[in-house]
Amino acid sequence: MNIENGSYHFRGGVNALDVVKDYGCPLYIYDSAVIKQKYDQLVNAFDGVDLKVHYACKALTNINVLRYIKNLGAGLDAVSIQEVKLALKAGFAADQIMYTPNCVGINEILEAVELRVKINIDNISILEQFGQLRPDYPVCIRVNPHIMAGANAKTSVGHIDSKFGISVYQLPLVQRIVKATNMKVNGLHMHTGSGIMDAEVFLNGAEILFRATEGFEELEFLDFGSGFKVSYKEGDIETDIEELGKKISIRFKDFCEEYGRKLTLVFEPGKFLVSEAGYFLVKTNVVKQTTSTIFAGVDSGLNHLIRPMFYDAHHEIVNVTNPEGKSRIYNVVGYICETDTFGINRRISEISEGDILAFKNAGAYCWMMSSNYNSRYRPAEVMILDGKAHLIRRRERIEDILNNQVEINSLNKESNLLSAPEMKSGKDGGLLGGLKKIKETISL
């Protein structure tokens, strides 16, 4: 999203304020051209290797995004059986899907087997159970390389105290189980964390994974996970993808010669592909001046974008309505009944009540981590595709919140001034009619 002729536009000339006019706020918007740019950048960084990109879909699973990424040529990494089913619905072939669960029961894994997707096992107990039940079905082993890496302790997953993966020191036990059950291991996998800046971290992990292949003679692929650092603000450091691709390509080709045959190299980016494609647009409800601070209070909160409160994540905030105004310092806060802060002491073009603000880097782990806290509706989603804005998820309504609740009839007496069926059917004017009914009851 860039300023053109004094206003913010997405790729293809789509005006941001026009999208808000059509679909309201709060609103998530994803620019498909940015996703393609990031995918092409990653694929083109590697040379002379059989590279496969698996999109880590937990970052963003809207089915339209899944289909778009599938059409680019990617496979998919799923961490739950539900993500597997979404991927199949989106059109991914079963053999394009890697199922990488954590702390799930054997029954969920067996369900994934019935769907014929690739299986990634990350603990000894499940490996033993799987070997006894389905030794005929090939599996990948997730290895914990004991590397502390990543920008946040909450997203560092390859260290010795992490719940993820089987320790490299337990591989002799893994091999005994494989031999005893006559299992077939077709891949090894590792993932160290998110926000990794240095290509050397991946190279160090690669050497550990290469050594771990000893004793596994029927491997078809090695999966290096992901965790590429993306830029969250001007001047921010990010992973040098071109350097990474060059160095990994050279070393991987050498390893394949040592191993005795060519293997497929897999990476599974999530945030890297979709983070910078996403924007979260909100409306300023109030501008509140205190003795020490100016607050810009918006029509959203941690229920829609929890990363600043949960991870202390930084999201750049711009004034879409007044992009070139004089800068002032604001604390941008939400409407949730808690300390609900998006940004402190942010320099933003002067904000007036009613102005539209945009949070950048809102494509990954943003809508996906949203909730109905305070019984607020989750936002709509829009995708910019071929120069047009497409609604890809409608904004929630009260019936979405009530949909799976089951009412106890004996509790539903005269106090029921406005029932869910009335709101859903639009009886007596729907919500407005219901409010009128409440006022009439009070006046009596």
Per-position DSSP letters for 21-69, written without gaps between them: HHH-SSEEEEEHHHHHHHHHHHHHT--SSEEEEEEEGGG---HHHHHHH
For this structure, is 140 an active site residue?
A: no
Joined together, the tokens standing for residue 21 give: 């006019």
**Rounded Cα–Cα distance for residues 155 and 295 (Å):** 30
**Rounded Cα–Cα distance for residues 72 and 40 (Å):** 9
Choosing from 25, 57, 103, 337, which is the catalytic residue?
A: 337
Joined together, the tokens standing for residue 129 give: 């159970």
- ω before 172 within 30° of 0 (cis)? no
> Which run of H or of E encompasses 242?
helix 241-259
> Helices (DSSP H) in 94-234: which residue ranges?
106-114, 124-133, 171-181, 199-212
**Rounded Cα–Cα distance for residues 271 and 276 (Å):** 8
Q: How far apart are the first and last CA of the chain?
A: 54
> Which run of H or of E encompasses 269?
none
Under DSSP, is residue 199 helix (H, G, I), strand (E, B) or coil?
Answer: helix
Q: Give the catalytic positions in this structure.
A: 337
